[in-house]
Amino acid sequence: MEDINNSYLSFKIGTESFAIHVSRVNEIREYEEPRKMPETVSFMKGVIDHREEVVPVIDTGVKFGMNPVQITPQTCIVIIDVTREDTNSSFRVGILTDAVTDVFEVEESEFKQIDTDYSPNYIKATCNINDNFYLVLNSDKVFSINEIIGMGDMIKQISK
């Protein structure tokens, strides 16, 4: 089995390139229209069925303060695992991407840290691989505790 310790999945949101550790990626799916949910946060597009589980789909462009993801034939939903730090429980979220681009290897020593005064806490670091600049995500910090609780409560209501 291939060692995944230094493997990252890269994807585009607008013109920016992001990366996430492959151990956090559950599945990459072609885009499907999520079912709309009433009274949700602005970045939540709706929910999809994923292996008999209801998964919220997040417009990462809106969540990250960028333009919304434009739906094209390259649009993907990346199902990621997120761990709640307060309870150490995990759940899945689908993040919309303009395109999934690559899987690459990078050593932690090649990461460049960004001062937290200049970046959101969910950007773990940056790296430059083959002349491509990536913002590396910490999937566990993309959502606030209140957002996680809200999504969890919504999923529980749907699943009843």
**28-57 pLDDT tens trace:** 999 999 998 887 888 889 999 988 888 999
Q: Which amino acid is at 150?
A: G
101 vs 86 pLDDT, higher one: 101
Q: Which helix (H) or strand (E) holds 74?
A: none
What average pLDDT does this structure show over 100-108?
91
pLDDT above 70 covers a percentage of the chain that reads 87
- pLDDT at residue 61 is higher than 90: yes
The pLDDT value recorded for residue 19 is: 95
Q: Which amino acid is at 111?
A: F
Domain ranges of the chain: 7-159
Q: Measure the CA–CA gap between 96 and 60, rounded to whole angstroms.
A: 6
Specify whether the CB–CB gap between 80 and 26 falls below 8 A. Answer: yes
Q: Which of 9-13, 65-69, 114-118 has the lowest mean pLDDT?
A: 114-118
**What tens digit of pLDDT does each residue of 110-136 get?**
899 887 666 677 888 999 988 899 999
- pLDDT at residue 1 is higher than 50: no
Specify whether the CB–CB gap between 76 and 100 falls below 8 A. Answer: yes
142 vs 150 pLDDT, higher one: 142
The CATH H-level (homologous superfamily) assignment of domain 7-159 is: CheA-289, Domain 4 (2.40.50.180)
